[in-house]
Amino acid sequence: MSKKDPRFRPNLAEPCPCGSGKILARCCYRIDGTIRKERSSIRPPGPSTGYSHPRCYLNFTQNCSSKITGEHLVSRGILKQIGQEVEVAGVPWLKPGEIQKYRINNLTANILCNRHNSAFSGVDAAASTVFRLLNDVNIELSKKSLSRRKRYYLVSGEDLEMWAAKALLGLFHSQPRDTVLAGYTVDFTIVETLIKTSRLPSGCGLYLNRQLGTRRVHRMKEITIGTITNPVERTLIGITIDIVGVLFDFFLESRGINFQHETKGKLYRPSNITFAGRGRSHVIFFTWPPASSQIGIVFSMNKAIFP
């Protein structure tokens, strides 16, 4: 984000749009005039332990703790926004079409050690922020208001991308036996590179679906996660994420599929999502590594749909 960007006129004395509570000049503002939310570190603090917990799926880092913890299949911060009890459908242990209620403390799997679980707190927080913003923006734009002030928010796209990778790995490692994904694999060479360097194969990462025109029904505070697979090679290559009707795809790899077809009509690493309606708008900016896309998308809410 540049201070010359016509979409955003930053005031350095106002609170930073990342939500830290600090003023912009002392937070995400950079000396070159850009505004950037740095990605969170996922490396556990302190010296490496040299220990690999057999039940932690990141044990290849040899930096585990001795205690295994319950990892939420969807970040706890997201589940808490839905409620202490949530409705769940489509998971491997339920029948097709079956819906069950669970307390959020029961939606966990023992697949990460405490040390690695804690290291992902910043990534989980970013995903929780996006979930909250997408819900709040929908609610705010559905109400009448005399205000016409634009509202701006700032999120690290890299954190959201890493959270999607974490969700994919959590789904893969927590599935019961004899499920639809039984016998499927994940490319652990790519996983190891991602965890150690935060890099993905060229073109892989987060995509925003920009194909409009299809009427979809969703509920507020609802999240849906599905799988993207290569059934020929029996590999799990990505996931789909639907947050109150906003669709993302995350690709861990692209081998063995028609990748150009799969990503058609989707925006790679969007710079922003703008929601406009009732004469006002909310803009969620995502910061990415240099040379990433500078293209965003506008969801225009037609006045006819408002009550």
**Residue 178 confidence (pLDDT) above 80:** no
Q: What percent of the chain has pLDDT over 70?
A: 91
pLDDT attached to residue 50: 97
Number of C-alpha atoms within 13 angstroms, CB side, residue 127?
28
pLDDT tier for residue 3 given thresholds of 50, 70 and 90 = very low
pLDDT attached to residue 4: 46
DSSP type of residue 195: H
Question: Rounded to an integer, what distance in angstroms lies between the CA atom of residue 218 and that of residue 224?
Answer: 10
**Residue 67 confidence (pLDDT) above 90:** yes
**Residue 212 confidence (pLDDT) above 90:** no
**Domain ranges across the chain:** 24-44+121-305
What are the pLDDT digits (tens) for 50-62? 999 999 999 999 9
How many separate helices (H) and strands (E) can be counted in the chain?
Answer: 6, 13
Residue whose pair of structure tokens reads 């925006």 in the numeric block: 267
pLDDT attached to residue 160: 96
Q: Supply φ then ψ for residue 175, to 5 degrees.
A: -70, 140
State both tokens at 30. 């950079």
Instruction: Give Cα 22 to chain centroid, integer Å.
Output: 24
pLDDT attached to residue 275: 87
Closest by Cα among 223, 239, 39, 251 to 131: 223
pLDDT attached to residue 216: 56
Question: Rounded to an integer, what distance in angstroms lies between the CA atom of residue 300 and that of residue 276?
Answer: 5
For 197, residues 6+ apart whose C-beta sits below 8 A from its C-beta are none
Name the 3-class secondary structure at 15: strand
pLDDT tier for residue 290 given thresholds of 50, 70 and 90 = confident
For 259, residues 6+ apart whose C-beta sits below 8 A from its C-beta are 203, 251
Q: Which residue has the higher pLDDT, 150 or 194?
A: 194
pLDDT attached to residue 43: 94
Residue 99 contacts residue 88 (beta carbons within 8 Å): yes
Provide the mean pLDDT of the chain. Answer: 86
Give the H/E segment covering residue 160. helix 157-174
pTM summary value: 0.90
**Residue 2 confidence (pLDDT) above 50:** no
Q: What angle do CA 223, 196, 116 make, to 5 degrees?
A: 60
pLDDT attached to residue 304: 43
What are the pLDDT digits (tens) for 252-274? 999 888 888 888 888 999 988 98
Closest by Cα among 287, 217, 215, 204 to 250: 204
SS3 content of the chain, % helix, strand, coil (to 5): 25, 25, 50
Closest by Cα among 296, 266, 265, 263 to 281: 296
**Residue 40 confidence (pLDDT) above 90:** yes
Give the H/E segment covering residue 154. strand 151-156
DSSP result, 226-281: EEEEETTTTEEEEEEEEETTEEEEEES--TTS-HHHHTTTEEES-SEEEEEETTEE
